[in-house]
Amino acid sequence: PGAGRKQYNLHFINTPIQLSDAIGKEPPLIDKYGLIYVIDEDMAAVKADPKKAIPLVIRANVYDCVDVLLTSEWNDDDFTNFQMSKINIHPHFFQFDNQASDGVITGMSYDQSMRSYVQFDKKMKDGHHVGLPVPMNAKLLKATKPGDTTVEIEMAHHSTPFHVGADIIVGIEVPNGKDARWIKSITPDPNKGFAKDHKYKITFTEGMTHAHKAGQIVSTEYVRYRWWVDVDVGLVFWHDHAFGATTWPHGG
Ligand SMILES: [Cu+2]
């Protein structure tokens, strides 16, 4: 009973994309600033070979539930995202609950676009950050074992610390090795002032499934979309629609 679940962990990455093969004396055409979605398990191979950076197709059968976890490695820059990198997934031809599946970024809807989980610093000007602040990213200070309920972390400097009740992912960059957990408590308490050394001990409401190495990334920067396939809608176009004017020409 219930829908068949198809789960995909997707990353939006900034990587060279080969657009054509070499012909005669002409070298292959490569967009050095490619922007493309990849599935978790393929990310390393795509980064290593611009030929493998091809558009991602998500296939589902009628009555499936497509369960998508989306994250981004596209850092802030000055010439494409103007220090405000954000990406989402906007699938066309769907009936949306725009609070949960549309990739919205506007109005009073919950923000479903993501900042980069690999960004740990920020362009500053006159003592203030330019564009959006540093994303809420951290790194594990100590390795953890399966079943552990606490992590020791160092937040990205200048970022806002996590808060109690938030759900964060430990090991967000690890294919099939992520743990999403609710925060039960944080010490020192960020509500009484941020830690000068940016270091916090976090306790989760339940233990983690996987082992994690020191240095792995801990982040709030992910979104989970669920798409129920009620009817056969054929081929559906989808893309980033947070920064389309600059991501589309590069593949997004
Ligand atoms: Cu669109």
Assign residue 43 the CATH number of its domain: 2.60.40.420
Strand ranges of the sheet holding 223-228, from the earlier edge strand across to the other edge: 35-39, 4-14, 64-72, 223-228
Do 4 and 39 fall within a single domain? yes
Q: Are residues 34 and 64 in the same domain?
A: yes
73: nearest Cα among 5, 135, 165, 1: 135
CATH number at residue 211: 2.40.10.170
Are 78 and 105 contained in the same domain? yes
For residue 45, give the 3-state DSSP assignment: helix
Q: How far is the CA of 239 from the centre of ligand 1 (A)?
A: 6
Between the CA of 244 and the centroid of ligand 1 the distance, in Å, is 8
Range of the domain at 185: 136-220
CA of 222 to the centre of ligand 1 (A): 20
Task: Dump the DSSP string for 120-182.
Answer: ----EETTEESSSPPPSEEEESS-B-TT--EEEEEEPTTSPPP-TT-EEEESTTSTT--EEEE
Cα of 153 from ligand 1 centre, angstroms: 37
> Do 215 and 225 lie in a common domain?
no
The verdict on ipTM greater than 0.90 is: yes
pLDDT at 14: 96
Same domain, 227 and 190: no
Q: Are 236 and 146 found together in one domain?
A: no
Distance 238 CA to ligand 1 centre (A): 6
- The DSSP letter of residue 95 is P
N- to C-terminal Cα separation, the chain: 36
* b/e map 46-76, b = 16+ CB within 10 Å: bbeebeebeeeebebeeeeebebbbbbbbbb
Q: Are residues 122 and 66 in the same domain?
A: yes
Q: Which pLDDT value is given to residue 91?
A: 87
Same domain, 3 and 70: yes
- Beta strand 4-14 with 64-72: parallel, antiparallel or unpaired? parallel
Q: Are residues 6 and 116 in the same domain?
A: yes
Distance 75 CA to ligand 1 centre (A): 22
Shared domain for 11 and 118, answered yes or no, is: yes
**CA 235–ligand 1 middle distance (angstroms):** 14
Residues 11 and 72 in one domain: yes
Distance from C-alpha of 148 to C-alpha of 143, rounded to nearest angstrom: 10
Distance 200 CA to ligand 1 centre (A): 39
Q: What is the mean pLDDT of each run of 10 residues along the chain (252 residues)?
A: 84 96 95 96 96 93 92 95 93 80 78 94 91 96 98 96 97 95 97 96 98 98 90 88 90 90
123 and 246 in a single domain? The answer is: yes
pLDDT value for 9: 95
pLDDT of amino acid 98: 77
Q: What is the pLDDT of residue 1?
A: 56
| Ligand 1 centroid – CA 124 distance (Å) | 32
How many structural domains compose the chain?
2
- Of 70, 66, 110, 108, the closest CA to residue 88 belongs to 70
